[in-house]
A and B are shown apart, each in its own frame.
Chain A
Amino acid sequence: MHYNDKFHTNIRFDFIKHQKKFFGASLALVVLGIVSLLVFGLNYGVDFKAGTNMDIEIGKAVTQEQAKELLGTLGYKDLAPTVGGASNQRLSVRFDEVLEQPKVTEILNALKKQYGDQVSAEVNVVSPDMARELGVKTIYAVIIASVAIMIYVAIRFEWRFALAANIAILYDAFVVVALFSIFRLEVDLPFIAAVLTTIGYSINDKIVIFDRIRENLRFSKTKNKEQLAEMVNASLWQTMARNVYTVLTVLIVAISLYLFGSESIKLFALAKIIGLTSGAYSSVCIASPLWLMLRGKQKPKQTAKTSAAS
């Protein structure tokens, strides 16, 4: 920790000095994610993998065994119903086949008979061609959204900023996907919403930091590597409070949704929590050092022009 007089900033931690550790850790996570995606893939929900999903509020505590037995008597074997909710009252079952309405009713009636009329369910049935169509649309959406945001950042900043920021936001989106793959969490349409809004939101801190770096660049004319590193550290610490606070406010609501929100919104909230955390980390530990690396590759010119930033 030291105080930088030029930028009037308390530099509490030298992020640039430790950049290798961050890059290493992130790279390890990316590799782990790729391996997990290749080996296990994603645990697709019915939105993307046709079939039937039943989310049932039982109103009484239920165990996985009981649910399994009940479904077994109706002829549904090899299912893995999961029990959730605050007091184990929520049952979630996925069928690989597209269940006809009478069969859905039969299951619900059996549950009502056993547990009472308060049983209430959300049932989603998706046919294979709809699932395929949605999958294709989603891939397009992620590509279009990323490219559009990249173009926007490229217009706002010079290419090194844009490249560094874009690598970092794609990393954030990938972290969410990777962790969902590693922990076998279900991927449905709200998950895609979480990933897309992560891309849209995680760019914010990067813009705040890069705006500051650009501003500080104007002060320092001689730019050797050490001075640049010091300037990046100063910029990071100057914007640290607002970056932490802004992420924290959204994180607070995302965590509230996760803890207190309805069962069907929990995975969405979790994806947001992962994306927000990764976004805050990658702004400081990935995007900024990355920019410095790109900048460092440039041959040092004695007559360096002052930044073209407005």
Chain B
Amino acid sequence: MKGSSRLVAFLGIIVIMAGVFAWTTPGLVNDIRLGLDLKGGFEVLYEASPMEGGEKVTPSSLKETRKSLEARIDKKGIAEPEITTEGSNRIRVKLAGVTDEDEVRDMLKKPVNLTFRSGANRDKIELNGTDFVQNGAAIQRDEFGNPIITIKLKDAKKFEEITKRLTGQELAIFLDDELLSAPKVNYTISGGTAQISGNYTTEEATKLKDTINLGALPLKLTEKYTQSVGAKLGQQSLHQTVEAGLIGSAIILVFLVILFRIPGVIAGITVVSYVWLLLLVFIMMNATLTLPGIAAFVLGVGMAVDANIIMYERIKEEIRSGKSLLSSLKAGSKNSLRTIMDANITNIIASVVLYVIGNGAIRGFALTMIFSILVSILTNIFFSRFLIHLLIRSNKFNKPSYYGVKEAEIRAL
């Protein structure tokens, strides 16, 4: 390739990149998933414990509890809930865009105490939530189209005994201390399934069915950690911190060009591609950007250019020692690579440890840090080298001053 065609290739790459970045960046920015601390919402870490003691929290009961939380949240119509189990007895719930946080949290946490009671004062507890098969209650229609609720019990024998004993009497359904309904037992029921009928409207029947299913939730949940962020505050954090990042990055770009001239311009180009590629990685990994994540992103800009600086300073040194531009470039990039990789590896070690211990937002920080280091290896080491190679070999920029070296500093070899 001739020198001028290398320059054309260089300019072509820049123009194409600028076009792609300008065209795709708004879309990328819009697609990025924001953490609760940026869009507002709340996160609760629950610790589950058995309602009645004795029983251990089993993986399946934890999973079922998660499912029932999901169902409750779905019923509320809250979009994109994130509910995950952690360890052996924890459930983390993240909800965004909730307008009635108090109500939702009450609903989630409430130790639903469903009881079926008998006796004149309705004070003898015959059955409670754990006697029912989870999600076993359903709505059916009788021959007249009236809604009836079917329930399933775990222990058919026990239910048979109860219904036999209470035939002709009431079996009142309580949620906590609130009487929901007081159906009469008409006959002994065997087989563990039963129907509750009455003059229910569809709405009432649905509510009763949901309550029984809710009552089958076997674990008590205690809030161990909560974070709640107002939507306005989140947006403000987002805007301020992104703005801070842009200001810092702009200063760095000016700083690089003043210090390193031509290579400084290349550093600037690689920083822009670093930001673009990191956004792309974020979206492809479906990672969540948190406030500390933005901080890591921004610090990453400062750290990414370290690779450029270490390499350029080394190249300057080689030029000063009297080597030709091309051999300075070769020696400079070779000698600086190991140092740059050392720096990246130690930073990755610290970030991985942070990821392992951290929770929510800090994990976002650690993850962003790791991504940003990996991306910067691509853009600020390899891509930067490629670009500077093209420029130097184009033979259009041969003066040492283009690289920030004064003629007087160059020694004879």
Contact = CB atoms under 8 A, between A and B. Distances in A.
Interface of A: 8, 55, 57, 101-102, 104-105, 118-127, 129-130, 134, 137-138, 140-141, 144-145, 148-149, 152-153, 156, 189-190, 192-193, 196-197, 199-201, 203-204, 207-208, 211, 238-239, 241-242, 245-246, 248-257, 259-265, 268-269, 272
Contacts, number: 224
B291 A127 contact: no
A201 B347 CA distance: 6
Identify whether the interface residues of B are mostly helix, strand, loop, or mixed.
Answer: helix
B351 interface: yes
Contacts of B369: 197
Contacts of B361: 189-190
A204 B309 CA distance: 13
Contacts of B346: 149, 152-153, 200-201, 203-204, 207
A200 B313 contact: no
B251 interface: yes
A199 B244 contact: no
Given A101-B106, A262-B236, A253 B349 contact: no
20 contacts: A101-B102, A120-B40, A122-B37, A124-B227, A127-B225, A130-B225, A138-B357, A148-B353, A189-B361, A190-B362, A200-B346, A207-B346, A211-B338, A246-B309, A249-B252, A252-B248, A259-B244, A261-B295, A263-B237, A264-B37
A205 to B, nearest CB: 9
Contacts of A268: 292, 295
Interface of B: 37, 40, 45, 101-102, 105-106, 222-233, 236-238, 240-241, 243-245, 247-249, 251-252, 255-256, 259, 291-292, 294-295, 298-299, 301-303, 305-306, 309-310, 313-314, 317, 320-321, 338-339, 342-343, 345-351, 353-354, 356-359, 361-362, 365-366, 369, 411
Given A122-B229, A260-B247, A196 B350 contact: yes
A55 B233 CA distance: 9
A129 B224 contact: yes
Identify whether the interface residues of A are mostly helix, strand, loop, or mixed.
Answer: helix
Given A207-B339, A249-B305, A259-B244, A141 B357 contact: yes
Contact of A253 (B229, B243, B245, B291): B245
A265 B234 CA distance: 12
A190 B45 CA distance: 19
Given A123-B227, A199-B350, A242 B244 contact: no
Given A137-B357, A197-B350, A200-B350, 4 more contacts: A120-B233, A193-B362, A204-B347, A249-B256
Interface centre among B291, B299, B310, B369 (most CB of A within 10 A): B299
